[in-house]
Amino acid sequence: MEHSRLLEHVEIGGASSITDASIEPLARSCRNLTSLLLCSSPITSISFDSLNEHCHQLSRLALIDCPHVSSDTFLRLKDCPLQDLRLDFFDEDDPNWTKLLQQGIPFLAHFDHLTCISMSEPPLLLVRRLFLTTTTNNNILWPLLTHLTLQYPGTTKIISDYNDNIFIHDNDNNNDDENDHDVEKMLATFFQTHPHLVSVSLVGYRITDRLLEVMAAWLPHLQFVDLSYNKKCTAHGLRHLVMHSQVPPDLHSAAI
């Protein structure tokens, strides 16, 4: 590719044929690459090694349904200045992910330049480990973070074949109240240590009005909030968030 060295952005949907054999020469040729999005690609840690070696401008990475991506592969990207990370696949049966869930989130902790992080249906244990890192170590994990997007496990199914009665059963009458309370407490601490957030999306998360009060008090720059598919927040809590924020945020609450 004559002009490949000038290439900065690569987005490939339906990338089942994009393997390590494709990414390795791409990384060597496109050293100015800043953005890479792959959907359904079977790449492995071999590709990450190549990106880390050659693409020192890579700041945006999105991996959607890439089944061989695991926790240790991100440790190989230590020389890439990632600012925007999107992960849309988590295989809890993979031994690498199991190790991650047990030990914490070392694969994310060293990306201290992150401004945006998005994870679709991450295991709840991963989410708890994510926030536990900030609460126990009393440090700011991502001091530049402005956008946080998390989608609760199982929400995609709820959205695709939404039935009100089923949703109420799944979202209200369950035995996960203690887990939900723990996650909410950790989110509250996370918000208090990351006041630069301007966008928060917690689709499907069963948070309550208590967290909305924390957001109103601790996130002065908040501009966008998505609490879709949540039946625990009340109209009073949503009104409190809007009325007590320094700038009323754009609020999305589909199917509440």
Name the pTM for this structure.
0.86
| Any domain includes 98 | no
Q: Quick one: 187 and 256 in the same domain?
A: yes
Domain that holds residue 171: 115-256
Which segments within the chain are labelled E, that is strand?
9-12, 35-39, 60-64, 84-87, 116-120, 147-151, 199-203, 224-226, 250-252
Residues 161 and 219 reside in one and the same domain = yes
241, 131: one domain: yes
What is the dihedral sign for C-alpha 227, 232, 234, 239?
Answer: negative
Same domain membership, residue 232 and residue 130? yes
Do 124 and 83 share a structural domain?
A: no
Helix axes 20-29, 45-54, angle to 10 degrees: 0
The count of structural domains within the chain is 2
Q: Residues 88, 128: one domain?
A: no
pLDDT tens track, the chain, 256 positions:
555 678 899 999 888 999 999 999 999 999 999 999 999 999 988 999 999 999 999 999 999 988 877 667 777 888 999 999 998 877 767 666 666 666 656 667 778 899 999 999 888 877 887 777 655 555 667 889 999 999 988 777 666 655 545 544 444 445 567 778 888 988 998 999 899 999 999 999 999 999 999 999 999 999 999 999 888 899 899 999 999 988 889 988 776 5
In a domain, residue 83? The reply is yes
CATH (domain of 44):
3.80.10.10
